[in-house]
Amino acid sequence: MNAIELLKQDHVRIKDLLGRLTESTERAVKLRTELLEKIEQELTAHTRIEEEVLYPALRKEGDKEEAKMAYEAKEEHRAVDSLVLPDLKKTEVGSLEFSGRAKVLKELLEHHIEEEESDMFPTCEKLFDQARLDEMGQQMADIRKGMKKELKKAS
């Protein structure tokens, strides 16, 4: 599978999880807890494969605009990973505050996904040939597989 297809599949999974989280009620404490854990796992893997494979390739093989695009996307990851997600995890799952913060997370990620799919991915498809996209997809799959092994060892 090529890199763009793999990342788009991630986006579908993440958007589904976020939709289920924001549609849940304050009473669905167990469901919200499980969804938040899945979202964090998905985001961790997705962020890592983009930042280790796609963004460096874009900076190396693209021009100034592509480098800027990659740095902006990385900053969006940092905002979610360092600010929004940690705050959400510390929030009482059954509260209205959690509902509000979950909605903000969803909106931020939907914006990020939209930018990647409408700007970054088409740029990548022009910049990289099919063999390079396939190679990056394999690198991403290998990283994800390694991360799943690490998670199993830790649990």
Q: Domain range for residue 9?
A: 3-150
CB-count burial class (<10 Å; 0-12, 13-18, 19+) for 24: middle
pLDDT in tens, 85-121: 999 999 999 999 999 999 999 999 999 999 999 999 9
Residue 110 CB-half CA count within 13 A: 12
| pLDDT > 70? residue 155 | no
Check residue 140 and give its pLDDT. Answer: 97
Q: Model-level pTM? A: 0.92
Note the pLDDT tens digit of each residue in 113-145: 999 999 999 999 999 999 999 999 999 999 999
In a domain, 81, yes or no: yes
Give pLDDT, residue 43: 94
pLDDT at 153 over 90: no
Query: How far is it, in rounded angstroms, from Cα 106 to Cα 127?
Result: 30
User: 126: how many CB neighbours lie within 10 A of its CB?
Assistant: 9
- What are phi and psi for residue 133, nearest 5 degrees? -65, -40
**What total number of domains does the chain contain?**
1
Residue 27 covered by a domain: yes
Q: Determine the pLDDT at residue 148.
A: 81
**Which amino acid is it at 145?**
K
CA angle at residue 101 from 75 to 110, to 5 degrees? Answer: 50
Is 155 inside a domain boundary? no
In a domain, 130, yes or no: yes
pLDDT band at 1 (very low <50, low <70, confident <90, very high): confident
- Asked whether residue 129 is assigned to any structural domain, the reply reads yes
Structure confidence by residue, pLDDT tens digits, 9-51 = 999 999 999 999 999 999 999 999 999 999 999 999 999 999 9
